[in-house]
Structures are given as C-alpha cells and as structure tokens.
Amino acid sequence: MSSLQDKLIALQKQGITEIEKSADLKQLNDIRVNLLGKKGPITEVLRGMRDLTKEERPAVGSFANKVRDALTESIETRKQALEAAKIERQLAQETLDVTLPGTPVKMGSHHVIMQTVERLESVFLGMGFKVVLGYEVEEEKYNFEKLNMPKDHPARDMQDTFYINQDILLRTHMSPDEARTLEQHDFSTGPMKMIGPGRVYRRDTDDATHSHQFFQMEGQYIGENVTMADLKGTLSFAIREFFGAEREIRFRPSYFPFTEPSVEVDISCFKCNGAGCDVCKYSGWIEVLGAGMTHPNVLKAAGVDPAKYGGFAFGLGIDRFAMLKYGIDDIRQFYQNDVRFLSQFK
C-alpha cells in the first residue's frame, strides 16, 4: 500500500517538476501524454492495484485520482502561461514603425474658382436666391441694349468685346442672365431673386492681372418693396460671410449704366487693416464689388413697370475674390491648372 502511495507521491513530484520545466506547448503536451496517457506511469500504478486487497483499493484509488487531478491542473496552469508567452512573442514580432508613411489614397481637389462660386452660392441660396445659368454666346441686345447701353453708349468702351458677328458676342458680364430672367419672371409668384455665376470674356491680353476669360457672379433682387437698405444689408452679409466678420465695409457712389443709384463696395485691406499698403494702393480699402438699384430703363426693357417694381443688382469678379482671399498674384494660374496650384485649395 504505502509503496504504491510513495510511488504516486514521487510521480507527482517528478511530474510537476517536468511540467514546470516544459519550454513550449508541444513539450507540455508530450509530458501530458507521457504522465496521464494509457501507457503512462499513473495508469501503470493503478494497474498495480490488482494486487491490493479489496479494502485497500478505494483509498489508493482516491489518492491516485488526486495525483492525476493535481498533475492535470498543473499542466493547465503551465499551458496558460506558455500560451500567454507565445502571444507576447508574436506581438513583439508584429510591432510596426508607426512613423512610416501611410499608403496614399488619391484625392482630387475642387478648383478654387468653383469653391469660391459655391461658397457664394450657398450664402445666397440661404437668403432665398436661385442660381441661374445663361448663355456664354449672347445676343448683343441682352449683353448691352437691354441693360441701358444702346449702341454708341460710351460705357461700352469700358468693355472690349469678342464679337462673333455684329449681333452675337461672347458675354462680357453676367448681366444678360439678369435681363432674360427678369423678362420671364411672373411677379404674381413673388419677387425675383437670382444669382448667375459663370464664364465671361473680354478682349484683353493675358497677363498677371488680365485674362481674356474669367468668372463673374451677378445677382438681382426685384420686387415691390426692395430698397437700397436691403442692398446694403444683403451685400454686407455676403461679404462678411466670405471675407470674414472682422472686415469693415464701405459703400460709395459709382456709375454703371444699368443701375441708378450705383454703388461701389470696398472692404478694409487684409494686409494693413486700413493703414495703407501696396495691396490697397495705400488707400486702406480694396474694391470688391459693384452694385446699385436697377435702372428704370432696364426694368422697362424687360417689360417690368418701374413705378411698381424695383430692386437691386450686383456683380463681382470670382477670380478677384479668390485672388484676394488666398493672396493669389497671377490670374493666369486659374486656367493653367498646374497641379501644384490646384492641390493647394482643399
């Protein structure tokens, strides 16, 4: 009896030592099969029970089971430890240099001119204006005649025009859209509020500040009680939205054939904040747009009664807005599409 127990005690002791010495899961598994398997020493000890008395057998059997449980538990503990160590090693191997560059995802950019257009569009859409797109090849009468610029009007000198023939031309401003929209508008549905952004053309030699093609946006708001105070309120809002709330804005008289009274709008210079610098030609102010109360002749030409309806119109250069906002110094860059230029405007 005691010899069997002694054997079991020795087995347990030796087994635990081996288990704890095992280096990896395979070795541990071998030990397990060795110790606890059908041909293992414990099975062998138990086989020796045949020689014991009936009374002795339960005690020894119970003891043998305890030894088996102890060894099983020890193996399990060791297994967990070895598995944890294995994961640790794997993680250590998998560690990356997180400072290596990410695999690039190619993204295109939206042209800065269109970004400018869309920013302004959203400001005016929010104020209930719609976006109207007219023709780039226009009739002379919509580009000039209906805008209070009859043939031989001196103001036509201000705009050098690309003509296709004497009646058809490339629009020199976005005002033709205003004339067309005004003609078609049904005032019983409410006031007419529109903006028209687009390409315009002038017979200019391209250089850093001139381009034969550029973008303009004009807008018009005609209704029964639209005032010059509304003009000021609307344009001040739009300008502050675009150029920043801290800009000072001033309105001063000007001249356009299609408006009366006419307005030129200046903002305080970004660079010098009004002190005077090369950007603002030492005036402290930068001209940003022209506007005015729509001339009665323009309303009449569109079949609108100037005694009943009136309102304001404005026009601004998209290229100029973008140049001012981002400090771009050469207008040609907009149309050369150098990717190193395009990608700067996110």
Partner 1 sequence: MKISYKWLKEYVDLDMTPEELANKVTLTGIEVDGVKHPDAGLKKIVVGYVESTKPHPDSDHLQLCQVQISADETVQIVCGAPNVAAGQKVIVALPGSRIANNEKIKKGKLRGEISNGMICALQEIGFSDDVTPQVYADGIYVLPADAEVGQPVYAYLGMDDAILDLEITPNRADALSVRGVAHEVAAIYAQAVHFPKVALTEATKKASAVLQAQVTDVADAPSYNLRVLENVTIKPSPLWLQRRLWNAGVRPINNVVDITNLIMLDYGQPLHAFDYAKIGGQTIEVRRAQADETLTTLDGKERDLTEDDIVITNGADVLNLAGVMGGLDSEITNETTTVILESAVFEPTHIRKTAQRYNLRSEASSRFEKGVNTATVLTALDDAASLMADLADATVLAGRVSPTVLKPADVTVNVSTERINRVLGTTITTAEVKAIFERLGFGVTEAAGIFTVSVPPRRWDIAIEADLIEEVARLYGYDRLPETLTASASTPGLLTERQQLIRHLEATLEANGLSQALSYALTTPDKANAFQLTASQPTSVDWPMTVDHATLRMNLVSGLLDDLAYNAARKQQNVALYEQGRVFLKQHQATVRPHELEYLAGAITGDWQTATWNQPAQPVDFYQLKGLVESTLAEFNLTTTPEFAATARHQDMHPGRTADILVGNQVVGFLGQVHPRVSQQYRLPATYVFQLDLEQLLALEQQTVMYHAVPRYPAITRDIALVVDESVTNAALTATIRENGGSYLSAVQLFDLYAGAHIDTGKKSLAYTLTYQNTAATLTDDQVNEAFAKVVAALQTEHAATIR
The CA-based angle 140-132-243, given to 5 degrees, is 105
Which residue, 281 or 308, is less far from Zn ion as judged by CB? 281
The token duo for 144 is: 């000039």
Among 25, 41, 48, 237, binds partner 1 (CB under 8 A): 237
- The answer to whether 294 and 222 are in contact (CB under 8 A) is yes
Distance CA 18, CA 32 (A): 10
Q: Does 95 bind partner 1 (CB under 8 A)?
A: no
Q: Does 23 bind partner 1 (CB under 8 A)?
A: no
Q: Does 296 bind partner 1 (CB under 8 A)?
A: yes
Q: How far is the CB of 218 from partner 1 (least distance, A)?
A: 16
Q: Does 103 bind partner 1 (CB under 8 A)?
A: yes
Burial class of residue 35, CB neighbours in 10 A (0-12, 13-18, 19+): buried
Q: Does 241 bind partner 1 (CB under 8 A)?
A: no
- The answer to whether 259 and 291 are in contact (CB under 8 A) is yes
Helix residue ranges, H only, 48-97: 56-94
Q: Interaction with partner 1 in 269-288: which residues (CB under 8 A)?
A: 281-283
Burial class of residue 230, CB neighbours in 10 A (0-12, 13-18, 19+): middle
Q: Does 213 bind partner 1 (CB under 8 A)?
A: yes
Among 49, 52, 279, 342, binds Zn ion (CB under 5 A): 279
Q: How far is the CB of 151 from partner 1 (least distance, A)?
A: 9
Among 11, 174, 280, 331, binds Zn ion (CB under 5 A): 280
Q: How far is the CB of 146 from partner 1 (least distance, A)?
A: 17
CA 62, 68, 73, 76 dihedral sign is negative
Q: Does 342 bind partner 1 (CB under 8 A)?
A: yes
Q: Interaction with partner 1 in 305-334: which residues (CB under 8 A)?
A: 310, 334
